[in-house]
Structure 1
Amino acid sequence: MNGKGGLPTRWWPWLFAAGIFVAFFLHLQGIPLFDLDEGAFSEATREMLVNHDFLTTYLNGVPRYAKPILIYWFQAASVSIFGVHTFAFRLPSALAAVAWMLAIFAFVRPRFGREAAYAAGLLATCSMGVAIIGRAAIADSLLNLFLALSAFDVYRYYETGRAAPRNRVFLWMALGFLTKGPIAMLAVPVSLLFFGLRGEWRAWARAAFSPVGWAIFLAIAAPWYIAEYLHQGQAFIDSFFLKNNFGRYGGHAMQGHGGDIFYYVFAVLLMLLPFSGWLLRLLGRLRAVRGEPLDQFIWLWFGFTFVFFSFSHTKLPHYILYGCTPLFVLFARCREHIRSRWVAFLPVLLFGALVLALPEISRLVAARTSDAYVAAMLARGPAVFGLGYYVVALIGFAGALWLTFWPPRWPVWQRSLLAALLALFVLMQALLPAVGQLKQEPVMEAGLLAKKLGGTVVMWRINMPSFSVYRQAITPSGRPKPGEMVFTNVNHLPELAHMGRYQLVYSSGGIVLARFLGPQTK
């Protein structure tokens, strides 16, 4: 047993393994790809394989410079083995997430013990932001792995002064640079602040200007960037570096993803669900930062990320995850401080209540919205929110209530982890599949039908690249010509009717596939 009244020691590996399976592999295939991001990455990978071009990525025939190449290579390898399936596109992210969780476990165990290591791994695995990003067919799971590995090795270098962890930092940053670009260098400013605060300027300078380290970095990261520049020219520099990296920070908010200076106050609480209360409770640990090197490192890592992205013009909730890995270390270390049931369980209970109320909420929104697409999408709710949905949601909510008011034989923090595991199961078994059915299943059905029918299809007034994945063909955007099929949503049918006659081929959940017949004849 783990102390008086604690969970049996033999449970911890099984709980950790169960969390990893539920978070990253349950329904990995069954839930359709989500647009925009999953669809864009997956279609770019599919076109890479069709074109046999493993240097430059294309999305619906147009060069896609938004992200570097590494995740596409991993997805292409997976698809080559398993075929063009949702599982294959998501598998590299899921495996990266598993490695991310194991990296947290490996860092915590020698410092705080086996129980703390399992606790840290479960805290990360059951956090809903991590669970969703960890299974998504995008670059962020892989990036978070390399950010965690590089920062952990920074601290190992501080502890030992050895060359091996120092050189690994450059390795992980190089791989991260191939995954998502300059943000992979996050360990540089964090380590500068940390070593400076500890008065270890010379140790930092020896590492930061290591010829061996930079040779490792350049040998891994530089070849693809040089080759892509030689192949694509200034267009690659302008789009990738100036627009998609520096432009996100200093330019206008991209794709409407803006927010005020307090955006990440709410985003971090959302990403950490159902452990948001843990963060609020442990903010008091800031008082101990002055004397504890690891505490300093944890708060500098999180704090720098929080401030850096708070001043970025483009904001997305999952950006804050780049600084959340150290919080799971802190949570595990300070787990015994979580004694309040409401701090531990209120977020889980609110989540459970929201899941139960979601069918009725969707019905009310569908009845009151003026957006025809949203109304048609939510009108499928009765078919989506069936008996199975309610059974899973009720089991999860009842289990959370039971753990909340269970006699205090197990510590509150352990019961909180079990409740979080239940909430994770509800998320992956009920909520995420339901959202996927509502939003993306009609897109998948339309793509599969278009594949069967053949012919030319254009994407009009809509941007859902997963349609091309299911159709397994490029779908250019543009105005339809007579005889072509058009993929759009119901909001744009009046404009299509004004252009000419059309014949509906598919219509469900607000998604439309129509054959454009041409201008009206008088």
Structure 2
Amino acid sequence: MRLAAFLDRLPETRRPAPWLIALCLLLWLPGFFTIPAGDRDESRFAQASRQMVDSHDYVRIRLGEVERNKKPAGIHWAQAAVVHGLEAVGIPARTQIWAYRLPSLIGAMIAVLATCLLGRALVGRRAAFVAAAMLAPCMVLVVETHIAKTDAALLAAITVAMGLFGRAYLTPDSFTPRQAAAFWAVLGLGVLLKGPIAPMVPLLAGITLAVMDRPQGAPLWRLSAPWLRSLRLGWGLPLMVLVSAPWFVAIGIATEGRFFSEALGGDMLDKVSSGEEAHWGPPGMYAAIFGITAFPSAWIVLRSLPGSWADRMQAPVRFLLAWAVPTWLLFEAVQTKLPHYVLPAFPALMLLGARWAMDPLRQEAPAWMRWLGHVALAGVAVGLPAVALGAGLFVERVVLPGAAIGVIAGIAMAWLLLRMARRQAWGRAALAGAILAIPVYAAVLEGVIPRLTSVWVSSRLAAAVAQVAPGLPARNFGVAGHHEPSLQFAMGGEIRLLTTGEAAAAFLADGPGRIAAIGDRQEAAFRRAAAERGLTLRDLGSVTGLNYVRGRWITLSLFKVD
């Protein structure tokens, strides 16, 4: 009863920000400092930012010696600023992956707070607080806070922009020029983070609203958008361009136009037309995995959908549907699919779910949808730590205590939430789900993942090199058979990525004091080439582990020339 009373009082709090910040930190800090740099995107972003810090070149983006013309520089600037700030106060952060993750954590927290504070105009104060609490533990957001890349920061920009757009839509006459300036400036920052994705969300929502709001019986081309004047498009759009354009001009000059041809033709169009980097998925995939990506809040959102559609004539609900549905459908149509792509729609979905949960006159969902939500909740609550338990057995051949604790926490979580569902206490269930997710995530993120030592091949290899050759310059180290970006982050962008065993032998022969790591598949060719060159090899040890990106075990042996 005490817990129920506490959960009932939470939405009434006059100061929601401290409660939400505390919830976010409890959910996101486990594993934040202890999980090594991951492959591949995280290490690519972090290493490119590290090279930006080292070189003081804040225009061009490079990974090793190669130009990385894929995404704008916004996240790299944020990561570099964090590193400079930490080093200014005496914290050595340049080689620490957690420092590069801080912009993701801060961005996710801004998104949660914006859902609460700006969502009030759409669903009311109490429901907005619940929606923010539902967003914080969504699995895809928890994962993004632990990855040093763009998507959590992008979510912050989109959530703030759409929150302001919602106010312009509901009360266009009271929408101030300052709010309009904030809307366009935030979109400009979003462009610097991930190109057109940030303005795409309000554009799709605006087109949808203009079509839905047209007078009854009017032709399709007769649109209605009184809110457009409130957004001050005349000077707002130039403001967005002004925020983002200087870097785009600078990078165009610095790369002689290569950035635009590679980012637009080689990255963006490939995602639309084909499954880039084997990330293809069929239409409907995001809906199929929603119970996982939005755990533990998905079951409430699923129950809210029929009632939300029935209430689509209400302006706030119509806006939230226009925010979520077109963006979701667009990403379902794109060939390349990754779970975080639909994250910009999550704040709107959580607001719809919280509105339903806090409504005493809520419309109940069909039985099959209720059943699906229960299965998703219980399945993920128990399945996530169970998978972690299996990973410990498969990779390390041990039962990790953290995984066992997580299974117990998951069972307790599912039992308590389903009990609340039987009592129709949906507001309590929404908040309890966020709180009960804390030990489940902590068990996996802190108790299991950092302890799967076999999968962290790059950090172990870097430690082995530091032990046998302390202070070895990065340019004197070469590797054949393991070209993962995490090794570049662990040892420096100047390491030599060698394609064959013969190239590794040539690398050792070309200068004194060099060390090469040779994969087991290249070792025979390496030894033959070394013998042909008359090199006397010294074996310095080896590292064996699981390359989880490629799904195979590898052994990397260290050699130098006597």
Q: Give the TM-score range, shorter chain.
A: 0.7 to 0.9
Report Cα offsets for 1:109-158 as digits up to 9, x if no partner: 34444332221111000111111113321010111111111122222111
Q: Indicate the RMSD between aligned Cα atoms, in angstroms.
A: 3.2
Query: Who is 1:369 aligned against?
Result: none
SS of the residue corresponding to residue 36 of structure 2 reads: coil
For 1:343 and 1:18, locate their aligned partners in 2 and report how far apart those are by CA, in whole Å: 31
Which residues in structure 2 correspond to 1:50-449 (within 5 Å)?
50-80=54-84, 81=86, 82=91, 83-84=93-94, 85-161=96-172, 162=175, 163-186=177-200, 187-199=202-214, 201-203=224-226, 206=229, 210-250=233-273, 252-336=274-358, 337=362, 346-358=375-387, 361-362=390-391, 366=394, 378=395, 380-382=396-398, 385-405=399-419, 411-431=425-445, 434-438=448-452, 440-449=455-464
3-state SS in 2 of match to 1:7: helix
**Does the 8 Å contact 2:504/2:526 carry over to 1?**
no
Determine if contact 1:459/1:477 at 8 Å carries over to the other structure.
yes
- Return 8-17 or 449-458, whichever deviates more: 8-17
Q: Which amino acid is the alignment partner of residue 245 of structure 1?
A: M
Deviates more, 1:177-186 or 1:166-175: 166-175
Q: 1:373-395 deviations in whole A, cap 9, x for unaligned?
A: xxxxx2x241xx42243234423
2:67 matches 1:45: no
Q: Which residue of 2 aligns with 1:371?
A: none
* CA 451–229 in structure 1, closer or farther in 2 if over 3 Å, else same: farther
Distance in 2, Cα, partners of 1:310 & 1:491: 39
Q: Which residue of 2 aligns with 1:20?
A: 24
Alpha-carbon separation, structure 2, partners of 1:446 and 1:154: 50
Residues 485 and 513 in structure 1, CA contact (< 8 A), matched pair in contact too: no
**C-alpha deviation, 1:345, in angstroms:** 5.0
Matched-pair contact (CA < 8 Å) for 2:116–2:129: yes
Counterpart check, 1:515 vs 2:515: no
| Structure 1 unmatched ranges of 5 or more | 367-377
Structure 1's 278 and 515: CA in aligned 2 closer, same or farther, altered over 3 A? same
Cα contact 2:155–2:344 (8 A) shared by 1: yes
Provide closer, same or farther for how the CA distance between residues 352 and 269 of structure 1 changes in structure 2, counting only shifts above 3 A. closer
The SS at the match of 2:504 is: coil
Superposition deviation, residue 489 in structure 1: 5.5
Per-residue CA distance 1:332-375 (angstroms, 9 max, x = gap): 111144799866654343224324533664478x5xxxxxxxxx
Displacement of 1:210 in angstroms is 2.3
Partner AA of 1:148 in structure 2: T
Residue aligned with 1:508, SS: strand
The one-letter code matched in structure 1 to 2:46 is S
Tell me what 1:460 maps to: 480
CA contact (8 A) 1:71 1:179 kept: yes
Q: What SS class does the counterpart of residue 39 from structure 2 fall into? A: coil
Single out whichever of 422-431 and 70-79 deviates more from structure 2: 422-431
Structure 1 match to 2:218: none
Q: Deviations over 1:197-216 (max 9, x none)?
A: 21363536546782311221
Identity %: 22
Are the counterparts in 2 of residues 288 and 295 from structure 1 also a CA contact under 8 Å? no
Q: 1:381 to 1:75 in 2, by over 3 A?
A: farther
Aligned residues: 502
Letter in 1 for 2:333: F
Compare 308-317 and 264-273 and name the one that shifted more: 264-273
* Residues 272, 360 of structure 1: alpha-carbon distance in 2 compared, 3 angstrom cutoff: closer
2:550 equivalent in structure 1 = none
Q: Against the structure 1 CA distance between its residues 218 and 412, is the aligned structure 2 distance closer, same or farther, given a 3 Å change threshold?
A: closer
Find the residue that maps to 2:543 and give its secondary structure.
Answer: strand
Deviations 1:243-285 (A, max 9, x none): 22233213x3211111122222224333112223223322213
The whole-number CA distance in structure 2 between the counterparts of 1:407 and 1:176 is 38
Query: Residue type of the partner of 1:71?
Result: I
Deviates more, 1:473-482 or 1:219-228: 473-482
Q: Which amino acid aligns with 2:495?
A: T
Closer, same or farther: CA 356–169 of 1 in aligned 2, 3 Å: closer
Contact preservation (8 Å) 1:28, 1:87: yes
What is the CA deviation profile of residues 182-209 of structure 1, one whole-angstrom value per residue up to 9, with x for unaligned ones?
Answer: 1121211221221332136353654678
Q: In 2, Cα distance between the equivalents of 1:115 and 1:491?
A: 60
Rounded to whole Å, the distance in 2 between the matches of 1:414 and 1:343 is 20
Q: What's the secondary structure of 1:481's corresponding residue?
A: helix
What amino acid does structure 2 have at the position aligned with 1:506?
S
Contact 1:487 1:512 in 2 (8 A): no
Is the 1:191–1:204 Cα contact (8 Å) retained in structure 2?
Answer: no
The aligned amino acid for 1:234 is G
1:274-309 deviation per Cα after TM superposition (whole angstroms, max 9, x unaligned): 223223322213542441122122222221112211
- The match for 2:217 is none
Q: Is the 8 A contact 2:31 2:450 kept in 1?
A: no
* 190-199 or 93-102, larger mean C-alpha shift: 190-199
Q: Which has the larger radius of gyration?
A: 2
- In the TM superposition, what is the alpha-carbon distance from 1:56 to its structure 2 partner? 0.8
User: Conserved in 1, the CA contact under 8 Å of 2:44 and 2:63?
Assistant: yes
Q: Which consecutive residues of structure 2, in runs of 5 or more, have no partner in the other structure?
A: 215-222, 509-513, 532-536, 547-553
Greater shift in the superposed pair: 28-37 or 343-352? 343-352
Asked if structure 1 preserves the Cα contact closer than 8 Å seen for 2:82 and 2:99, the reply is yes
Mapped to 1, the partners of 2:140 and 2:241 lie a distance apart of 32
